[in-house]
Chains A and B, each alone.
Chain A
Amino acid sequence: MIEAVLSIGGIGLLAAVTLGVAARKFAVEVDPRELALLETLSGANCGACGYPGCSAYAKAVAEGKAEPSLCTPGGQSTLEKIAHIMGVAAVGAAPQVAVVLCQGDNLRAAAKYRYLGVVDCVAAQRIADGPKICPGGCLGLGTCARVCPFGAIEMTSEGLAVISREKCTGCRKCVGACPRQVIAMTPLDATVHVLCNSHDKGAAVRKYCQVGCIACMICKKTVPEAYVIEDFLAKVVYEHYQESGAAVEKCPTKCIRDFVDGYPEGSRFAPPVVPVKRQEAV
């Protein structure tokens, strides 16, 4: 009896002491704000903030890497609490809208092979990196349209995803669902976008897509501050989106698009979004 008590007690004691020492020795410092933030957040782990879960988002906010306003389910009250913890003003982020950065449907972008499998972009992407030659283009099998809780995405008959700027709430579900990262979140006010997602060189893009960005720099020359070209792909600098419209007409491949002119062909979504007059090229 006494041996039993002593030995099991001994093992327990040893374990406790070891753990106690280890807890001190290996203690990892956690930002107290991070813990406070974690308590404030809803704990729903819905991913609307764009992070894998509430704790990841709390960490990002505490480190100053994320805006305090990304927790949509929490609403205004959560935003205020987060802002209080971080000691910043409680300003909501500008409303965002998802945009499919591609116009290469089945007519305008070439296929690598004929895909006859499950109608799902993730499945298609697993087979030799997808049936399109373009490594970044929309596969058009509608995975994003199926996850959108608001019915904001439709597929054109030629296989291109188009997002309604009126119906999109900016929940980011589609961004996570798309296996090719074609969908980007952009400010709702900015209607001009470079609708291409290929980082290939111009010559290669020309071979497989009629509407791909060939990095000819014409947009940048037209409005230098509104465009950047990285890795052979032009992008709108959204801080200067007001000026960006001037390059729409100049783009030789027509891959810069102003949504004021309506949605890409084949889409049923209502044409003009906000009828404003585009600035003329200077």
Chain B
Amino acid sequence: MTELLLILVGAIFVNNFVLSRFLGICPFLGVSKKVETALGMGMAVTFVMTIAAVVTWFIQYFILIPFGIEYLQTIAFILVIASLVQLVEMVVQKTSPVLYQALGIFLPLITTNCAVLGLAVLNIQKEYSFLESVIFALGAALGFTLAMVLFAGLRERIDLSPVPASFRGTAIALITAGLLSLAFMGFAGLVKG
């Protein structure tokens, strides 16, 4: 139990996917202008990451390892994640048009989100059990959402502040992201990642 809790907390704060591992930076910078959209993206990623962790775990231990073809891991995982996102998109579009509207372009964007592939690969590297994989995925996704929402909140404020002309736009956003990342470094040592 403690083990699982440690994995969860570690993934959210200490080894935050965005701010410490620098995975999934493009959605982090791209869809964080508003807290609402950031939250939407976070939700979508949480959903996909958790399912992806489950499926890739099975692929690894029931197909890749038994056949001795671990070297094909990247291709196999990408294949599965991409199809998974497609499937999720179709199901959401049919079953909940409202949610589909809210998530909009973010759903297909997740296909190319390196955080999802990163998570699947890390799960295998760390030799997590099935349950641990799922918990790790949940933590990673929550950490991703947390980073997105915090950053979006900061950017909403920056929009209203008198930023010097040469820093406006992406420049100040990148500096802010760097500072936020530094702040998260403060969690190092809380849990051994």
Interface set of A (CB-CB < 8 Å, partner B) = 3-4, 7-8, 11-12, 15-16, 18-19, 22-23, 25-28, 118, 120, 122-123
Residues of B within 8 A of A25 (CB): 94
* A26 with B67, Cβ < 8 A, contacts A8-B76, A8-B79, A123-B160 known: no
Binds A, one of B46-54, B84-92, B116-124, B172-180: B84-92
A30 CB to nearest chain B CB (Å): 10
Mark contacts of B72-84 with chain A using CB atoms, 8 A cut-off: 1 yes-contact digit, 0 otherwise: 1001100110010
**Do residues B90 and A23 form an inter-chain contact, with CB atoms below 8 A?**
yes
Q: Which residues of B contact A8 (CB under 8 A)?
A: 69, 72, 75-76, 79
What's the least CB distance linking B156 to chain A, in Å?
Answer: 9
Q: What CA separation (Å) do A25 and B94 show in the bound complex?
A: 9
Query: Once the chains bind, are B69 and A7 in contact (CB under 8 Å)?
Result: yes
Query: Shortest Cβ distance from A73 into chain B, in angstroms?
Result: 22
Report if A12-B90 is in contact (Cβ < 8 Å); known contacts: A3-B67, A120-B160: no
The reply on B59 being an interface residue by CB < 8 A is: yes
Chain B residues with a Cβ closer than 8 Å to the other chain, count: 23
B86 touches A19 (CB 8 A): yes
B188 touches A (CB below 8 Å): no
A-B contact count (CB 8 A): 53
Minimal beta-carbon separation of B157 from chain A (angstroms): 9
Nearest-neighbour CB distance to chain B for A21, whole angstroms, equals: 10
Q: Which residue of A lies closest to B100 (CB)?
A: A28
A11 and B91 contact, CB distance less than 8 A: no
Describe B's contact surface by its main secondary structure. helix
Using Cβ atoms and an 8 Å threshold, which residues of chain A touch B59? 11
- Complex formed: what's the CA distance from A8 to B162 in Å? 54
Q: State in angstroms the CA–CA spacing of A3 and B66 once bound together.
A: 10
Q: How far is the CB of B80 from chain A (nearest CB, A)?
A: 7
| Alpha-carbon distance A23/B94, docked complex (angstroms) | 10
- B2 contacts the other chain (CB 8 A): no
Alpha-carbon separation in the docked complex, A18 to B83 (Å): 9
Q: Does B189 contact A (CB under 8 A)?
A: no
B164 at the binding interface (Cβ < 8 Å): no
Complexed CA–CA distance, A19 and B91 (Å): 10
| Known contacts A15-B83, A123-B160; A26 and B94 CB within 8 A of each other | yes
Verify if B109 is at the interface (C-beta below 8 Å from A).
no
- 20 example contacts (A-B, Cβ-Cβ < 8 A) are as follows A3-B67, A3-B68, A7-B67, A7-B69, A7-B72, A8-B69, A8-B75, A11-B76, A16-B83, A18-B87, A19-B87, A22-B87, A22-B90, A22-B91, A25-B94, A26-B91, A26-B95, A118-B162, A122-B160, A123-B160
Contact A11 B90 (CB under 8 A): no
Q: Say which residue of B69, B76, B91 sits within 8 Å of A3 (CB atoms).
A: B69
Knowing A18-B83, A122-B160 touch, does A7 contact B63 (C-beta < 8 A)? Answer: yes
Partner of A11, one of B68, B80, B160: B80
Q: Please report the C-alpha to C-alpha distance between residue A118 and residue B163 in the assembled complex, in whole angstroms.
A: 12
How long is the Cα–Cα vector from A28 to B93 in the complex, in angstroms? 7
Least Cβ distance of B57 to chain A in Å? 14
Q: B161 at interface (Cβ–Cβ under 8 A)?
A: yes
Instruction: Say whether, besides A8-B75, A18-B87, A120-B160, A26 and B93 are in contact (CB < 8 Å).
Output: yes
